Amino acid sequence: PPDVAQLGRSTWTFLHTTAAYYPLKAPPETQNNMMALLKSLSLLYPCSWCADDFQKDIKYNPPDVSGREGLSRWLCERHNSVNLKLGKERFECTNEKLDERWGEGPKN
Ligand code: FAD
């Protein structure tokens, strides 16, 4: 079986980084591609109980793929729901914190 923690860290890195570099305002085709990526991930993720919970979470909280800020915050909240389940610390889902951790950070 896969190393669920290592898989999770890698997957969150990919997802949060992709969101941090997503267009500020995504064109329709980009939105469709992101929606397909998230749906596919929830179906193909190689940890079956993680995938089941992610599918349910996505169903009740549909992805906001309109642009960078909405997508980053939406993902942050999904990650927080896994953090809660695992007893991990909550991340503060502000655009400032998210950009600092996963994007280019504050401009100087
Ligand atoms: P991770 O939770 O992997 O976080 C990596 C880094 O992201 C942190 O160091 C922090 O800097 C940052 N971060 C933390 N929270 C947030 C946030 N809310 N927004 C943005 N950045 C943040 N594991 C299970 O055991 N059971 C599950 O059911 C499960 N479901 C998962 C579902 C999905 C879709 C994914 C991608 C992973 C899942 N995992 C699950 C794995 C789990 O979320 C962690 O990745 C794993 O436990 C390793 O945790 P970690 O403490 O190293 O940090």
Distance between CA atoms of residues 17 and 75, nearest Å: 11
State in Å: Cα 79 to ligand 1 middle.
Answer: 6
With a cut of 70, say whether residue 108 has pLDDT above it: no
CA angle 3–20–52, rounded 5-degree value? 40
Tokens describing residue 20: 């941090």
19-59 pLDDT, tens digit per residue, is 999 999 999 999 999 999 999 999 999 999 999 999 999 99
Cα 14 to Cα 102: distance, rounded to the nearest angstrom? 10
Architecture of the domain defined by 4-102: Up-down Bundle (1.20)
Residue to probe by mutation, ligand 1, list 44, 79, 81, 102, most atoms within 8 Å of CB: 79
- Of ligand 1's listed atoms, the one at least distance from the Cα of 42 is 34
Please give the pLDDT value at position 105: 84
Ligand 1, atom 36, lies closest to the CA of 8
pLDDT computed for residue 5 by the predictor:
98
pTM as predicted: 0.97
In the numeric block, which tokens belong to residue 27?
């064109």
Sequence-separated contacts (24+) of 92-98 with Cβ below 8 Å: 95/69, 98/16, 98/19, 98/20, 98/72, 98/73
Mutation pick for ligand 1 pocket among 12, 16, 40, 57 (CB with most ligand atoms within 8 Å) = 12
What ipTM does the predicted assembly reach? 0.99
pLDDT tens across 58-107, in order? 999 999 999 999 999 999 999 999 999 999 999 999 999 999 999 998 76
